[in-house]
Chains A and B, each alone.
Chain A
Amino acid sequence: MKLLVPVKRVVDFNIKVRVKSDGSGVETAGVKMSMNPFDEIAVEEAIRLKEKGAATEVIAVSAGVAQCAETIRTALAMGADRGILIETAEALEPLAVAKLLKAIVAKEQPGLVLLGKQAIDDDMNATGQMLAALLGWPQATFASAIKIAGDRVEVTREIDGGLETLELTLPAIVTVDLRLNEPRYASLPNIMKARKKTIETITPAALGVDPAPRLVQESVAEPPERKAGVKVASVAELVQKLKAEAKVI
């Protein structure tokens, strides 16, 4: 069984993003970019499933500018077998990405697509659900445990206040949450090996998909700034202020 893992190139999670002064978006020029952290967890899980013998091949796919090849290369260094870059300069929304991935699924016929639950740039949390809808496949979002047995996958999901377990018949879509695993660091030999792995480049047009956005991003603004308050001298003063001033305890 093949596993498909979509990976997104995003501003590194340790970078404090800056809103452009003209309000057109967030500054990304010259900013460190990395693989979306939730996608790293998906890549890790796919590699573990292959190591356990539940899968035969892990394919990493990314959609976006040419530099997304670096993100695919990171997945290859972790242990994915090959990559597919859907190259476009278009700002892609989840629906467009889901349509592109649907076309890749038609070509590659994976038994399971593992995605990060959301990207930490647009925070949409939608691509996996949309891909499942377009394919007519069952979905399990926010996975914290994944067990494959035969043609079924049992997924434990993080829901509000606890956990839920679903069973899905393959092929299926699973989006992964933080607790699923801790992604490995790529070792130097594996980074070297990854350079020899293949990345196929394809365009949205070749996949027959129009990736034009549906939403107009009118503006991006800084959230209201939080001002530093006061320093208190003692615990007693702190408790007194929380009671009398803030009235929160």
Chain B
Amino acid sequence: MPVLVLLDHETGQIKQPSRSAIAAAAQLGEVHALLAGHDLAATAAAAAQIAGVGKVLVADDAGFAHPVAEPLAALLVALAPGYSHILAASTATGKSVIPRAAALLDAQSISDVSAVLGPDRFVRPIYAGNALATVRSRDPIKLLTVRAASFDPAPAAGGSAAIEAITPPVAPERTASFVSQAVVHSERPELSAARVVISGGRGMGSAENFALLEPIADALKAAIGASRAAVDSGYAPNDFQVGQTGKVVAPELYVAIGISGAIQHLAGMKDSKYIVAINKDPEAPIFAVADYGLVADLFTALPELKSELERA
């Protein structure tokens, strides 16, 4: 049986995490991509070009104008009999829809899969990545969300899948209704998807000092993060928090400034490709995970870093 992948899309584009989900699905069988939305002609054409997609199913309906979980889960349930697995990326939509659909199918979904070992065996991080669990599903149908950072996205071009319109099932009676959306149009990249992240900790000393990170973030095209200590001290807003109870990030470069490296912070960033730490305490635990460590007072190091980066 083929494998179904629910795609996240926006303004005619397929979001990159969904192409990672397609790459994971390709390890399980023939991939059918599912698009639900409204006015999907351009989006469907983009989906059909993704390498490895065998067929694109399109549920084009005003009821799917926003990705609301109830009708999307009902759509997955209606399609489920034809599939061995149903996947989505671990995005806000995937995480909301997949467990809901799984419960309707009396299956235990598997969240944030980081490796596919076989048709029913998967690896997933637990304890914020401090341990990796290998699990085997005994359910007849497997529903998974996929950790995008663990799978190279399927190329956006190279495929030529057939596009098939499908009729969605009747929407569930009790459904949340969309009111509004406020997507932040920051000049800076989104923290959980940024290629570079620069984070400040308690060592920043104050909210005013925390702003010293901004010109460096601009120079590096980085998102700004913070340790829980910095958030608790009021230096940075809560949505900056990187760590077990905040956001888990895995950028190519993570720069930790004045962060000691508490366990709960390390849990949120230790999968970064390169870690840089600047801290005046040579014994700080952050140095045990840093690829490049600099023992220095951040108030002298940050201006130097700024001018070095600007010189480049």
Q: Which residues of A contact B (CB under 8 A)?
A: 11, 13-17, 19, 26, 37-38, 93-95, 98, 120-127, 129-134, 136-142, 154-155, 157-169, 172, 178-179, 213-223, 226, 228-236, 238-239, 241-243, 246, 248-249
Q: Is the CB of A159 within 8 A of B92?
A: yes
8 Å CB contact of B101 from A127, A133, A141, A165: A133
Bound Cα distance from A241 to B273, whole angstroms: 14
* Given the contacts A139-B100, A243-B312, A216 and B108 also touching, CB distance less than 8 Å: no
Residues of B within 8 A of A219 (CB): 133-134
Residues of A within 8 A of B167 (CB): none
Residues of B within 8 A of A19 (CB): 131
Residues from 56 to 103 in B contacting A, C-beta threshold 8 Å: 66, 68-70, 73, 91-93, 95-103
Q: Is the CB of B103 within 8 A of A133?
A: yes
Bound Cα distance from A229 to B292, whole angstroms: 6
Q: Is the CB of B92 within 8 A of A142?
A: yes
How large, as a class, is the contact surface on chain B?
35 or more
Q: Is the CB of A132 within 8 A of B263?
A: no
* Given the contacts A130-B99, A162-B181, A139 and B69 also touching, CB distance less than 8 Å: yes
Q: Is the CB of A140 within 8 A of B305?
A: no
Bound Cα distance from A215 to B134, whole angstroms: 10
6 A-B residue pairs with CB within 8 Å: A17-B131, A95-B103, A139-B96, A164-B182, A219-B134, A235-B308
* Given the contacts A121-B127, A130-B103, A167 and B179 also touching, CB distance less than 8 Å: yes
* Chain B proximity of A76: nearest CB distance (Å): 23
Count of chain A to chain B residue pairs whose CB atoms are closer than 8 Å in the complex: 259
Residues from 190 to 245 in B contacting A, C-beta threshold 8 Å: 190, 192-193, 196, 220, 238-239, 241, 244-245
Question: Which residue on chain B has the smallest CB distance to residue A141?
Answer: B96
Question: Which residue on chain B has the smallest CB distance to residue A142?
Answer: B92
Question: Which residue on chain B has the smallest CB distance to residue A180?
Answer: B238
Residues of B within 8 A of A246 (CB): 253, 274, 291-292
Q: Is the CB of B288 within 8 A of A228?
A: yes
Q: Is the CB of A162 within 8 A of B245?
A: no
Residue among A160, A163, A230 with max Cβ neighbours from chain B (10 Å): A160
* Given the contacts A13-B264, A239-B305, A246-B253, A169 and B178 also touching, CB distance less than 8 Å: no
Question: Which residue on chain A has the smallest CB distance to residue B254?
Answer: A248
8 Å CB contact of A223 from B131, B179, B192, B196: B131
Task: Judge if B289 is at the interface, Cβ distance under 8 Å.
Answer: yes
* Given the contacts A122-B126, A246-B274, A141 and B132 also touching, CB distance less than 8 Å: no
* Given the contacts A228-B288, A235-B305, A223 and B107 also touching, CB distance less than 8 Å: no
8 Å CB contact of B289 from A11, A121, A133, A228: A228
Task: Judge if B11 is at the interface, Cβ distance under 8 Å.
Answer: no
Q: Is the CB of A232 within 8 A of B293?
A: yes
8 Å CB contact of A139 from B70, B92, B178: B70
Q: Is the CB of A223 within 8 A of B133?
A: no
* Chain B proximity of A17: nearest CB distance (Å): 5
* Given the contacts A162-B184, A222-B131, A246-B291, A94 and B99 also touching, CB distance less than 8 Å: yes
Residues of A within 8 A of B291 (CB): 229-230, 246
* Chain A proximity of B204: nearest CB distance (Å): 17
7 residue pairs, one from A and one from B, having the closest CB atoms:
A162-B183, A229-B291, A126-B99, A130-B103, A133-B103, A129-B99, A214-B108
Listed stretches B30-38, B42-50, B109-117, B157-165; interface member: B109-117
* Given the contacts A136-B172, A138-B175, A178 and B246 also touching, CB distance less than 8 Å: yes
Q: Is the CB of A223 within 8 A of B125?
A: yes
Q: Is the CB of A123 within 8 A of B111?
A: yes
Residues of B within 8 A of A235 (CB): 294, 296, 301, 304-305, 308
Task: Judge if B14 is at the interface, Cβ distance under 8 Å.
Answer: no
Q: Is the CB of B181 within 8 A of A133?
A: no
Bound Cα distance from A127 to B103, whole angstroms: 9
* Chain B proximity of A216: nearest CB distance (Å): 4
Task: Judge if B6 is at the interface, Cβ distance under 8 Å.
Answer: no
Q: Is the CB of A26 within 8 A of B174?
A: no
Bound Cα distance from A160 to B190, whole angstroms: 8
Q: Is the CB of A163 within 8 A of B181?
A: yes
Residues of A within 8 A of B288 (CB): 226, 228
